[in-house]
Amino acid sequence: MKVISKTHVGMVRNNNEDSLLVREPFLFAVADGMGGYSAGEVASRETLRAFEAATHDLRHQKDCDVVEVLLDAFAKANKHTFVLAQKNSAYKGMGTTLTALYLPGDNTAYAAHVGDSRLYLYRNNTLSQITKDHSYVADLLAQGKITSSEAFNHPKKNMLLQALGVEEEIRTDIFHFALEKGDILLLCSDGLSDMLRDMEIAHILEASDFENAATALLEQSLDNGGKDNISLIMIAVEEDD
């Protein structure tokens, strides 16, 4: 397995509210925080910290129920950040996306997801978005009310339907799929997927080797405007992952 992660403040913002978790070879996550002043940074960082602590069983207990542990870790991370936001007026209204990937090492992948950060799978020159954005615009698109091009340019693109830390309960999506040699997994914040259409991401992955592709994804996001913080984690699946 090869892993590369990158995060960049972008061309417009003064602070980076994205946080990354990279625990090779099994646990990876992107969190994209929101909130006034530094609250977005606190939300993404604290949520990842609580999430990682709550996934302890994945590393130390061979026969645990992975889906149950992931759902529980999301619930605990949500609660942790929700309580912080309630207790401190400077953190009021803060929240974060969380998209996490767990690779137990048996050629399977588990993803858990809330918000509009994304997990993509690039396989046989085809890019698929595994996660579904919990956003107003993604719902309009799913209902056939707008086209994908209208979705990409929609003014309410960043309106989330749920995030961690905002409400007491969350509904976490879980995905489970088999890995194949040559797969590339891409976790990213919307600072990347808002700047690059799926077709552009696929072209970059097709045209460059693994290391150069990560750099090119970041640079193209910046060239296209870099309107938000940009984060990505790329994982190349090799033999015996």
Residue ranges in contact with Ca ion by CB under 5 A: 32, 189-191, 228
Nearer to Ca ion, 54 or 95 (CB): 95
**Which is closer to Ca ion, CB of 191 or CB of 226?**
191
Phi-psi region of 35 (alpha: psi -120 to 50; beta: other; left: phi over 0): left
How far apart CA 151 and CA 139 sit, in angstroms, is 10
* Nearest residue (CB) to Ca ion, 32 versus 183: 32
Q: How far is the CB of 4 from Ca ion (least distance, A)?
A: 20
Residue 96 CB, shortest distance to Ca ion, in Å, is 10
- From the CB of 134, what's the least distance to Ca ion, in Å? 14
* Residue 93 or 182 having the CB closest to Ca ion: 93
Please state the closest distance from residue 98 (CB atom) to Ca ion, in A.
Answer: 13
Least Å distance, CB 131 to Ca ion, is 15
User: What's the min distance (Å) between Cβ of 223 and Ca ion?
Assistant: 18
* Nearer to Ca ion (CB atom), residue 31 or residue 73: 31
Hey, which residues does 143 pair with through a beta bridge?
Answer: none
Structure tokens at 2: 């090869």
Q: Which residue's entry shows tokens 């090492």? A: 105
Q: Are 31 and 232 within 8 A, CB to CB?
A: no
CB nearer Ca ion, residue 165 or residue 191: 191
